[in-house]
Every structure is written in structure tokens, then in C-alpha cells.
Amino acid sequence: MKTFLVFYMIGVVGFANCDTSSSEWSYKYENGWPNQCRKAGQQSPINIMSRSAIVDTFQIHIRGPLVFRGYGDVKLRGVNTGRTLKWKFEEDTGAPVLSGGPLRGNYTFVQFHLHWFSEHAIDGIKYPMEIHMLHIKTGLTIEEALKLPDGLAVIAVLCQVHADENSEYSLQEIEPLLPTLYNKTSGPGFISTLNLSRLLSPQPQSFYTYHGSLTTPDCQEVVTWIVMDHPISISDYQYKMIRQVDVGGVDNYRSLQPTNRVVYKSAASSISSPLPIGLLGVLLNMSSLLKSTLGTGACVVINLKRKFFADKKNYCTNAAA
Ligand SMILES: *[C@@H]1O[C@H](CO)[C@@H](O)[C@H](O)[C@H]1NC(C)=O
Ligand SMILES: *[C@@H]1O[C@H](CO)[C@@H](O)[C@H](O)[C@H]1NC(C)=O
Ligand SMILES: *[C@@H]1O[C@H](CO)[C@@H](O)[C@H](O)[C@H]1NC(C)=O
Ligand SMILES: *[C@@H]1O[C@H](CO)[C@@H](O)[C@H](O)[C@H]1NC(C)=O
Ligand SMILES: [Zn+2]
């Protein structure tokens, strides 16, 4: 068991947040999002087809391994923003730094937050949850970064749910805090010391990468996406807690956007099968609660927002084939 620390903060602390939109918006009504979210540019999230992704054999785009510095012991403040659960880095120095892979230069960690169900799909499969670790090009302000095509880098980690109570799960460090975040946070939130490495994929060099956008308004196309292709595991109990969190509805994911661009995969990703049959079994082998929530599993999740699909292919049939 990892040590779990909670500090109660006295006084009022502002929550700068990466929600850069001035207007109200909702996951229930994506057609009401600002215009730039609806133009067919390079929007996110997308369905990544593993067979179409390009292996960068000559290391033109992915020039080496990803380098994670300082992810081990990170003090973060957890809040319910009303749209997601977010853990934000607030100190002046010592933030984790990401570099390597498709990135040119250093990117400083800002916050991570959760989406349930997942936003990205791989080979048509969506997952119960997705973690986004947002990084900003080192030295830039958020306003500056939002104007540059390579201003932000986001690591996306897909999560699958297991019913076995005796395993170690990735969210163990934040689990005790979840009930305090069910409601939109009115106070300053709580500070925890987390090991962010535990929220990364078991194989962090195995990923897809593409250029896209923020998945919330104003949907700026300034993000280098790094989507890990090996999911982490969370427990059924943890997922039940997360689904009690009030984010203005029961879930908080944007529908899939047209892929219309090149997706690269890392050399490690091309070696390992991105979606072994066993994984599909595990994914669908969820507890009775999940089965009642999801019906027959991942396919139902996909079909939930089917009407928003740009590509009318039947992803579930593809995935099962
Ligand atoms: C963080 O977790 C990783 C992976 O479990 C482990 O290798 C590392 O030692 C941990 N770091 C700290 C500071 O606990
Ligand atoms: C990235 O950070 C490392 C460590 O602080 C530093 O050595 C390196 O020069 C930085 N790279 C760039 C491009 O600024
Ligand atoms: C959350 O909000 C509900 C309704 O607004 C309230 O009844 C409940 O006590 C709140 N829970 C916490 C933990 O603040
Ligand atoms: C599904 O769960 C059952 C019982 O919980 C277990 O025996 C079985 O091995 C699991 N299947 C997979 C593919 O994980
Ligand atoms: Zn996100």
C-alpha cells in the first residue's frame, strides 16, 4: 500500500483551469459548442485504427523514447470542476517534465483529469474511462500555448475495469478522496501526493500519436496527442465511485471526430498486438453493475453517440471480427 497524504488547506485558492471557454457548454448538447469545435479540421478525440497507423521506422516523427522526469512524487490538488475530476499542480517549481517521442523540447505537467467513458477509441473499442495528463510547452503561458500548433501535449491513458478485489489498482492513491469530490467543489479542494507513474500505461513506450485539439471548448487545435495503447486497470469499486461524481450528467466524454489525418505509432506499439483477444474478454468481463450499465459491453458505449459519428462504419463488428 502506498502512503496517502491529505493536507487541508486554509484560505481561498483560485483554481486556474484549462477550461478556456467563456460560454456555458454541455456534454449533452455538442451542437451548441462554439463554431471552431464544429469545423472539420483536426478535432479530437478520434477512433484510431491500428492497421492504418504508420510505424515511424525512420524516426522522422517519433525521434526516440518518451522521457518522463519527476512523475514519482507529485503534490496535486484534486477538485470537481463540475465537468470533470481534476488534479492540478500548483507549486512554482518541481513539476514533472515530459519530452522525447514526437515532442520537440520539454513540456511541463499542468494537471490530469478523467473522462468516463473514454474519449478515444482504438479499433472501434471504447473503454470505461480515460485519463488525460495535460502538459504545456515549457516556458509558455497557457494563452501563448493555445495559439501554437504544438503548444500542448496530452498523454491519454485508457482504463479497463476489473472485478477482482485483491489486486493492486492504479487509482488506489486517490480512492479515499473520491467521495469528497462527488459534488462540484466549492472549497479549495484537497492536496494529495501522488505517484503519476502509476497512472501511466504498463508499457509507456507503446503509443499512438497524432495532432489534434482540446476535447472541450474552445477545441483549439494545439495538441500533440500521445495515446497509450495498453490500458491500466482500475477496480470495479473505484469505477462505481467515479460514476457517482456529479459532472452535470452521468458521463463526460466528447463524441468521436473525423480521423482525416495521419496517426503514427511507436515502434514498440507495432511489435505488441494493440488489442489481444484476451483484453477484449477482460474488458467485457465486468461486474454485474457494469453489465447493467453497459448492456452488452463496449459496443453499446460506442453506439451511445453513434449519431455523431462522421464515419458510419460499424466499429463493433470490426472489433469483434
Ligand atoms: C512510482 O511508481 C513506479 C511504478 O510503480 C515505481 O517504479 C516508482 O518507484 C514509484 N516512485 C515513487 C517515488 O514512489
Ligand atoms: C529540457 O530539460 C532538460 C533538463 O532540465 C534540459 O537539460 C534540456 O536542455 C531541456 N531541453 C530543451 C530543448 O530546452
Ligand atoms: C452534495 O450535494 C447534495 C445536493 O446538493 C447534498 O445533499 C449533499 O449533502 C452534498 N454532499 C456533500 C458531500 O457535500
Ligand atoms: C471473467 O471472470 C471470471 C470470474 O470472475 C473468471 O473466472 C474468468 O477467468 C474471467 N475471464 C477473463 C477473460 O478474464
Ligand atoms: Zn480531457
Q: Which residue has the cell 492497421?
A: 51
**What is the number of other CB atoms lying within 10 angstroms of the CB of residue 290?**
19
Residue 214 exposed, middle or buried by CB count within 10 Å (0-12, 13-18, 19+): buried
Q: Does ligand 4 have an atom closer than 6 angstroms to the CB of 285?
A: yes
All structural domains of the chain, each given as residue ranges with its CATH number in brackets, are 2-292 (3.10.200.10)
Mean of pLDDT over the chain = 81
> Which amino acid belongs to residue 124?
G
Ligand 4 atom nearest the C-alpha of 164 is 5
Give the residue, by CA position, lying nearest to ligand 1 atom 10: 72
Per-residue pLDDT tens over the stretch 26-85: 998 998 999 899 887 999 999 999 989 999 888 889 999 999 999 999 999 999 999 999
Ligand 2 atom nearest the C-alpha of 97 is 2
Residue among 5, 69, 169, 195 whose CB has most ligand 1 atoms within 8 A, to mutate: 195
Per-residue pLDDT tens over the stretch 250-298: 889 999 999 999 999 998 887 655 454 444 444 444 433 344 444 334 4
